Each structure stands twice: as structure tokens, then as C-alpha cells.
Amino acid sequence: MKRWESLVDQKIREAMEHGEFDNLAGAGRPIDLSENPYEDPDWRTAHRMLRNAGFAPAWIEERKDIDAALEAARISLARSWQILLNARDTQHHRPALARWDKAVESFRTKVAELNRRIDGWNVKAPAAGFQRNRIDVDREINRITN
């Protein structure tokens, strides 16, 4: 026995040596960590049922919708950029450039709308750690064009 072993550690070690932990219920299976210790116990069953049915709290679903809308807008802008690159030095360059300009304008409008939604969502988020940064439209455009 170690000289500085705590009483609790000693009792656990002795119980393990006597096999008191060998036949516990759930032995060998992963621990279910899906319970939220900060969740209101009155709502725990309802939240578990919603989770098992594939639903999440409204603020989480809204975050997913915002992220999906941003990704769709990025894809649309990237396609227009690719069309412009492919049309370079061809007779289709001017129409592709016009399409690109329109896509950028549309992207800026979409990001402004998403930023308004993010502002509202940040108010609904239960803690500051869940808040989402606003979208920097110029950085997004530069990511696609560089």
C-alpha cells in the first residue's frame, strides 16, 4: 500500500481486489453520456423523446438552417466563379462576368439576411459559448476567388 494513498482510493482498490466491481449492470458497454447535467429535470424526458425522434431544440435547428443556407449560397457563388474562370478568353466572357456580378450581389444580399438571422439567433442561444459569429461577406468572397 502506498504511503499517501487516500482513504477513498484505498477502499476502491480493496473492492476491486475482492471482485466487487466484476458483475455490475452494463459492464463492457459504453457509458451513456447523452444526459445533460444542466438540463431542467422537469423537461429531461420530453427532450430525450424529441432527441430519439430526431428533433433538437428550436435554437439548434435554427443554427442548422443558417449553416445550410450559408453553404448553399457559397456553392452557388463558387459555381458562378467557376463559370467565369472557364469563360476566360472566350466569347462567353462578358455574359459570364455579368453572371458573376449578379451572383456576388445576390450573395451579399443573402449574407445580410443571414447576419440578421444570426443576430436574432445569438439572442436565443442559451449561453455565450453557443453564439455564432456574423458572416464576413468579403472574406467569404475572397475564399472562393483565391
Q: Is residue 105 part of a domain?
A: yes
Give pLDDT, residue 3: 61
- Scan for cell 430519439, then name that residue: 52
Q: Is residue 93 part of a domain?
A: yes
Average pLDDT estimate for 5-27: 83
Where b means 16+ CB within 10 Å and e means fewer, 85-108 reads eebeeeeeeeebeebbeebbeebb
pLDDT tens-place string over residues 48-59: 787 788 777 788
Q: Is residue 25 part of a domain?
A: no
Model's pTM, two decimal places?
A: 0.65
Considering its fold, how many domains does the chain have in total?
A: 1
Provide the percentage of residues in the chain whose pLDDT is more than 70.
95
Average pLDDT estimate for 96-105: 96
Burial class (CB in 10 A: 0-12, 13-18, 19+), 57: middle
Angular region, 29: left φ>0, alpha ψ -120 to 50, beta rest: beta
47: confidence class by pLDDT, cuts 50, 70, 90: confident
Q: Is residue 71 part of a domain?
A: yes
Domain that includes residue 136, residue range: 58-145
pLDDT tens-place string over residues 73-84: 999 999 999 999
Which residue from 119, 115, 118, 121 is spatially nearest to 59, judged by alpha carbons?
121
Q: Tell me how far apart the alpha carbons of residues 95 and 97 are, in angstroms, rounded to a whole number.
A: 5
